[in-house]
A and B are shown apart, each in its own frame.
Chain A
Amino acid sequence: QKEVEQDPGPLSVPEGAIVSLNCTYSNSAFQYFMWYRQYSRKGPELLMYTYSSGNKEDGRFTAQVDKSSKYISLFIRDSQPSDSATYLCAMSAGDYKLSFGAGTTVTVRA
């Protein structure tokens, strides 16, 4: 079993829809949770960062962490074609090592 599980998709939604992404994990030592967006042939761009459990909102993006269920989510409201990318969840126990999910490929159709 992988340490971090993420459905690779692909996920296709119409413009304006809510995109819902999630990851589950098995290591209870994880305390830092991140979502990265990666466009084709580019480096990952940090979208959201959460320490421990809770919700965080930044514009159209909302990140949720539920440590009791070992489950994290990312919601993108009012999705745009420019949101089409691969979204990677990542988490860390504070030891310099990031454990990544497989990445979910999202296409927002105009």
Chain B
Amino acid sequence: DTEVTQTPKHLVMGMTNKKSLKCEQHMGHRAMYWYKQKAKKPPELMFVYSYEKLSINESVPSRFSPECPNSSLLNLHLHALQPEDSALYLCASSRGTDTQYFGPGTRLTVL
């Protein structure tokens, strides 16, 4: 089973709202990732958690706050987003530093 699940599928939020995206994997992978993908562009890495510790932060604005409660779960907390943050947010996981498996994504619209 190579499944990464993400909730919600769609999210619409105002610029003053606080919301969270959730990601789960049960493959025993020890690395989990958040990506942002704009239309007709490849995914852009935001954060990497390795063994539940934040190991890479690609200079993402502080209005995005990641959290890894345990080895199977990854959250992305959103606060005071801008309309240009509207995108497909993808979660991925990997056993090590090699192949990454992506979830279906959360389509976020910021009004």
Contacts and interface: CB of A to CB of B under 8 A. Distances in A.
Interface of A: 32, 34, 36, 41-46, 49, 51, 88, 90, 92, 94-98, 100-103
A100 B98 contact: no
B101 interface: yes
Contacts of A36: 102
Contacts of A94: 97-98
Nearest to A51: B98
Contacts of A95: 97
B14 interface: no
A36 B90 CA distance: 14
Given A45-B102, A51-B98, A92-B98, A97 B56 contact: yes
B99 interface: yes
A60 B105 CA distance: 27
Given A41-B88, A46-B2, A92-B98, A102 B104 contact: no
B50 interface: yes
B103 to A, nearest CB: 5
B31 interface: yes
Given A42-B105, A51-B98, A88-B42, A96 B90 contact: no
